Structure 1
């Protein structure tokens, strides 16, 4: 049974969901999600002998949402992970992240390998430092309509995504999945916003229910999308803050899971899977799920659970 409580972490109140006893495994969600995106992983990891904890990360759902954009840098987010580990009374943990949670997990392993026993990323691979500020490079490649550029203006995407929570989650989750039409990463010319590229689905895929849509919508009633969007508004700042680790390797044991229909793969360079060991030399394996879209652990829970249990038990 998944239990819920709040902890004080780095001066904010953080909501966590947890199950099981044993070595600590942290599950870090992405955008636009919450602890609930890991609903299928709690029981298998707890049954395997682990204390599984999935927080609502800074600015999301049941966790406090600081007002300043500057309070959402990658150093704040890594600091929250380390603070949470200590708040739980532990000195080390395995961190597993999906979407935005993956860069947080990868950077936590990069910056604090003394605390991280192992790291796994879903969808987003280990970071390879860009030669210049990322947003400018992304605009050159994809244009001003690229979603990460569109997300920069405070209040704009916040209002669009928050106007009808259930409609936003229904469109976004289906479009970016392996069952959807694909979430266009570029706001169409002349469109009112990001969601215009995502049609309202006639029916939900088998992995997603109306109860799931309701759960996400209910959790977003408190904070809306601004906290999560503020993570995007720190992309260039993160590049500046992490300059000292430009050539550093991710040394803890690692694992990567991706899907062949994940939209994130369109952003990366060809052959990026073959390049991963140069960034994470202790890479234990890669699971490439045929036909899986962006919501990896929700779309393909059985395969993801088996791989994660094998990875964490092998540490």
Structure 2
């Protein structure tokens, strides 16, 4: 029977909630979730990775669940997010590790690999690609490209605005985020810039097949009592992240890297240019596109993702 231990670590000025499973002597794997998720997003991967012999470490990232959610927007910049994982590794006595990230967790994983090339031995990123540090902050580029039309990242920028919509009904908001790939996509809608994210979208009649009512209750509990403020603050640091990552300009990710994305993931459309250039910036890259799969890749295609992970890790980071 799988045993998962919950531990609250005092690291990097916050308390970070981390779930641990697998043999203590096993080689550490860090699984970093994205928006708007939680540690439970890796429920399908934890047993497979433990069975392969790894020590699996699954944090609730800052702003989520039982981890602290600082008030200041700048507390969610990239050095702070990477610093949480670095400090947690130190607290657990881990000199080296492999890192697996999805969505925003992939963004952290990419940069942790760049900042800590001696500590991150192997890298897996899901859904969010990388093609070097941009020449300008992403939000600056988005404001030029969208020409007064709605963009969800720009909508998230002003503190309090998106929270007023998303926090009004946490259950409805999460159900709309966790829609099936064929449903209306709030991230790709063409509408006025002053629209809200979920305007005119009906509430889903059911949860997607990959998310049971019991699973959904855990996601809902992640945001209960605190709302989306901490999670949204991640989006409010694009300019600060660009400024604070100047030392990474021109650097390539040198670790062996596995990248996978669903063929129906909206990120594939939004980041098509980055995807086309990724191999130039990640020399040891292995890429996979999963068929009939949306954004929630490790839950929608658990068996395929687990097979890719176990095979890749066996070759590049054996237990």
Partner residue in 2 for 1:230: 233
In structure 1, what is the Cα distance between the partners aligned to 2:50 and 2:166? 34
State whether structure 2 residue 21 is matched by structure 1 residue 19. yes
Corresponding residue number in structure 1 for 2:67: 63
Q: Is the 2:132–2:250 contact (alpha carbons within 8 Å) kept by the matching residues of 1? A: no
**In structure 1, what is the equivalent of residue 259 of structure 2?**
256
* Number of the residue aligned with 2:94: 90
Give per-residue Cα distances to partners, 1:173-204, cap 9 Å, x unaligned.
11xx4243323345733875212254311222
48, 52, 56: which one aligns with 1:52:
56
1:187 and 1:147, CA in 2 relative to 1: closer, same or farther beyond 3 A? farther
Question: Could you report, residue by residue, the CA deviation over 1:223-251 in whole angstroms, capped at 9, with x for unpaired residues?
Answer: 32111111100011111111221100111
Q: Given the alignment of the two structures, is residue 212 of structure 1 paired with residue 211 of structure 2, yes or no?
A: no
- Partner residue, 2:307: 306
- Contact 2:114–2:252 (Cα < 8 Å) also in 1: yes
Q: 1:105 — aligned with what?
A: 109
CA contact (8 A) 2:49 2:56 kept: yes
Q: Shift of the alpha carbon at 1:265?
A: 1.2
Counterpart CA distance in 1 for 2:55 and 2:225 is: 27
Specify the alignment match of 1:154 in structure 2. 159
TM superposition score normalised by structure 1: 0.94
User: Partner residue of 2:168?
Assistant: 163
Rounded to whole Å, the distance in 2 between the matches of 1:178 and 1:186 is 14
- For residues 52 and 198 of structure 1, the distance between their equivalents in structure 2, rounded to whole angstroms, comes to 38
| Matched residue, 1:6 | 8
Alpha-carbon distance between aligned partners in 1 of 2:275 and 2:160, rounded to the nearest angstrom: 36
> 8 Å contact 2:12–2:83 — kept in the other structure?
yes
2:44 is equivalent to residue 43 of structure 1? no
* Contact 2:16-2:84 at 8 Å conserved across structures: no
Counterpart of 1:195 in 2: which secondary structure?
coil
Which range moved further: 121-130 or 76-85? 121-130
Is the Cα contact below 8 Å between 1:61 and 1:224 reproduced in 2? Answer: no
Question: How far 1:276 moved relative to its partner?
Answer: 2.1
Tell me the equivalent position of 2:126: 122
In 1, Cα distance between equivalents of 2:291 and 2:156: 30
Counterpart contact for 1:187–1:196, Cα < 8 Å: no
Count of residues in correspondence between the two structures: 311
Q: TM-score, normalised by structure 2?
A: 0.92
CA distance in 1, matches of 2:194, 2:159: 18
SS of the residue 1:117 aligns to: strand
Kept in 2, the 8 Å contact 1:187–1:193? The answer is no
CA distance 1:126–1:210, change in 2 (3 Å) = same
